[in-house]
Chains A and B, each alone.
Chain A
Amino acid sequence: MNNGRSFKAQKVIDRMGQKLTRQMVGSLTACVHCGMCTDSCHYVLANPGDPTYAPAYKADKIRKLFKHHYDWTGKVFPKWVKAGSVYTDEELEELKDTVFGKCTNCRRCTVNCPMGVDLATFNRMARGLLCHVGIMPEGVEYVAKEQWEIGNQMGVLKEDYIETIEWQEEELQEEMGDPDAKIPIDKKDAHIVYSINPREVKHDPRSILDAAKIFYAAKEDYTMPSEGWDMTNFGLFNGDDDLGGAVASRVYDKVDELNGKKLVISECGHGYRSTRCEGPNWGKRDIAFEAESSVITMLRYIKEGKIKVDKSKNPGAYTFHDSCNNARSCGLTEEPRELLSLVVEEFREMYPNRAENFCCTGGGGAMSMSEYKPERLKSAKIKADQLTATGTHTVVTSCHNCVDGLNDLIGHYKIDMEVTQLVHLVANALVM
């Protein structure tokens, strides 16, 4: 015990001092409690009588520690600024339920804050402080360890990954009627190195095949890597910058080793944000190659005439769900719409959309935290209403996590809708 504080609580306080960046301090000091964030949060909208879901309330759980230990105002006027500390492991467990269980780090409150307070950024930091001392939901522990030690979030062994690619290559040869059609692995000097989400190997190998069909049609010089192929990154969710850096570096190292010219990231919101935007900072390194979303790659193929598509092959009305990480954190809002409009008969907007879209409620690693599932699905009412209002039969998204989140809520609220991704629609619309 230190000042009456448990060993873990003291470690959390000490670690916070190492993790405070200028951006975080700005957010921790700027809140004026105006309440503009309140109605932006899907948890609040689904729980109107419960103030503990309000972003400003949740932020204050973390802010009080900063004020008490690292800000001069907390030393001079502790009561005025509501400075406070944590002393017991039980208090850390309570904080865990707030930072993991009541927020998906979707950043909708961030874009609606007139003061620029980025709750998701310091909520992520708080997650990292707790994980540092071993306090985290069981599912977070499970997935983080998979990615640290096996190299991907779903514990796919190297031999199983290779076998799946080879299986999809056989499917490609059959569907294209070309026994020489290949899904290259570890080809040197390729123009594109294609990285994927382990969910594609484990639950949706069709997405690997569909991407291969598009590359085949475009006559692309590409390869898949034998390792460093997982572009997802649980470090974004559990706040572990070391994990974030290690995972991103495995991807970057492999592109360097293969002398790839461009890294293409398959459809995944948090993977795109982590690998393209955050990874170099976490890994403390530069990357010498271009990185782009497969959405942009597919759109370019159509625009450049490398592939031809027929939108009548995807009849009916489709709507689009923006992944929070793609839209709010990376600005990837127009390209998926342009691409979708080119490959489906009818595209209908969902409202609100783009940076104002609501989370699928599976973000921030929420799908791995089964203990918070009832609260998550309750908050999903907001998304369910959005989906229903479109009157479409299919919702399209550019994120594997969103596919699972949306399928979960569609089942829970008994909505007659399917979920798909752009890669499937583009592959289906191909004119060979």
Chain B
Amino acid sequence: MVNKVQINNSTLSVVKADVTDYVIDAFVFYARNDLKLGSGFGNAIALRGGPSIRKELEKLGPLNVTEVVMTTAGDMKAGHIIHANGPKFQEENTNQKLKTTIINALKIADAKGMGSVAFPPMGAGFYGVPLEISAKITIETIADFLSSGPGIKEVVVCGNDNRELKALQAALETLKQKAA
């Protein structure tokens, strides 16, 4: 299976990893509109990052769907966190909103000079975007953005388990075949 593609001067790869425990300039957290960290990856951020992240978030938000903000990552392995308020639970126009959210996350990363960014499969799992659709939109949207020649040199999409990794690999394979 394909795990990495080159797009102009950037790479797009998929790995099996915990996105909140990855060495990277910034990772994307699929956030709530009120920017409360909550459970799941939010809990991991709170535990691994320490209280400074919550303090930064108190001054930000709430966010409309597709909006993003960036904070530092406290004591985590990453330098920054991009809190992205993506669509949730089958809301209307989910696919388009998901795409816009990913673009906004990449734009803020680029604007803030992040050289590398990690994503989860956006909206998959708890928020109910079907995994294959999430993988397709996540991979294709990132690839489109990287083809425009941004400053970001590395994007990694982290699958939490084999199931997610396989879906991401399949989406990357399709992308590669289309480009060939």
Interface residues of chain A, those whose CB is within 8 Å of chain B, are: 7-8, 11, 132-134, 141-146, 148-151, 155, 157-158, 228, 242-243, 245-246, 249-250, 253
Query: What is the CA–CA distance of A228 and B160 in the complex, to the nearest angstrom?
Result: 11
Chain A residue contacts of B41, Cβ below 8 A: 149-150
Chain A residue contacts of B18, Cβ below 8 A: 158
Q: Kindly provide the distance from the CB of B133 to the nearest chain A CB, expressed in whole angstroms.
A: 13
Q: Assess A145 versus B126: contact at CB under 8 Å? Given A133-B90, A151-B160.
A: yes
Q: Kindly provide the distance from the CB of B113 to the nearest chain A CB, expressed in whole angstroms.
A: 28
Q: Which residue of the partner chain, among A133, A150, A157, A249, contacts B89 with CB atoms under 8 Å?
A: A133
Number of interface residues, chain B, beta carbon within 8 A: 24
Q: Kindly provide the distance from the CB of B123 to the nearest chain A CB, expressed in whole angstroms.
A: 12
Query: Do A149 and B125 have beta carbons less than 8 Å apart?
Result: yes
Of residues A144, A157, A245, which shows the largest number of chain B Cβ atoms within 10 Å of its Cβ? A157
Query: What is the CA–CA distance of A8 and B39 in the complex, to the nearest angstrom?
Result: 24
Of residues A142, A151, A155, A245, which shows the largest number of chain B Cβ atoms within 10 Å of its Cβ? A155
Q: Assess A149 versus B126: contact at CB under 8 Å? Given A155-B40, A158-B18, A246-B161.
A: yes
Q: Kindly provide the distance from the CB of B20 to the nearest chain A CB, expressed in whole angstroms.
A: 8
Residue B48 CB within 8 A of the other chain: yes
Query: Do B161 and A150 have beta carbons less than 8 Å apart?
Result: no
Interface of A is mostly: helix
Chain A residue contacts of B40, Cβ below 8 A: 145-146, 148-150, 155
Residue B96 CB within 8 A of the other chain: no
Q: Kindly provide the distance from the CB of A258 to the nearest chain B CB, expressed in whole angstroms.
A: 14
Write 5 A-B pairs (CB below 8 A) sorted by A numbering.
Answer: A134-B89, A134-B90, A148-B125, A149-B126, A228-B161
Q: Kindly provide the distance from the CB of A93 to the nearest chain B CB, expressed in whole angstroms.
A: 14
Q: Assess A143 versus B39: contact at CB under 8 Å? Given A155-B44, A246-B125.
A: yes
Since A8-B90, A134-B90, A149-B40 are in contact, a sample of 20 more A-B pairs with Cβ atoms closer than 8 Å, ordered by chain A residue number, is: A132-B128, A145-B38, A145-B126, A146-B40, A146-B43, A149-B39, A149-B41, A149-B44, A149-B125, A149-B126, A149-B160, A150-B43, A151-B161, A157-B47, A228-B161, A243-B126, A246-B161, A249-B161, A249-B162, A250-B161
Q: Rank and list the top 5 A-B pairs by shortest CB-CB distance, nearest first.
A: A134-B89, A149-B40, A145-B40, A148-B125, A148-B126
- Among B153-177, those with CB < 8 Å from A are 160-163
Chain B residue contacts of A253, Cβ below 8 A: 161-162
Query: What is the CA–CA distance of A132 and B162 in the complex, to the nearest angstrom?
Result: 23
Query: Do B125 and A150 have beta carbons less than 8 Å apart?
Result: no
Chain A residue contacts of B48, Cβ below 8 A: 157
Chain A residue contacts of B39, Cβ below 8 A: 141-143, 145-146, 149, 155
List the B residue with the shortest CB-CB distance to A143. B39
Query: What is the CA–CA distance of A31 and B131 in the complex, to the nearest angstrom?
Result: 37
Chain A residue contacts of B97, Cβ below 8 A: none
Query: What is the CA–CA distance of A143 and B39 in the complex, to the nearest angstrom?
Result: 7
Query: What is the CA–CA distance of A158 and B18 in the complex, to the nearest angstrom?
Result: 10
Query: Do B161 and A134 have beta carbons less than 8 Å apart?
Result: no
Chain B residue contacts of A7, Cβ below 8 A: 91-92
Q: Which residue of the partner chain, among A11, A134, A142, A242, contacts B88 with CB atoms under 8 Å?
A: A134
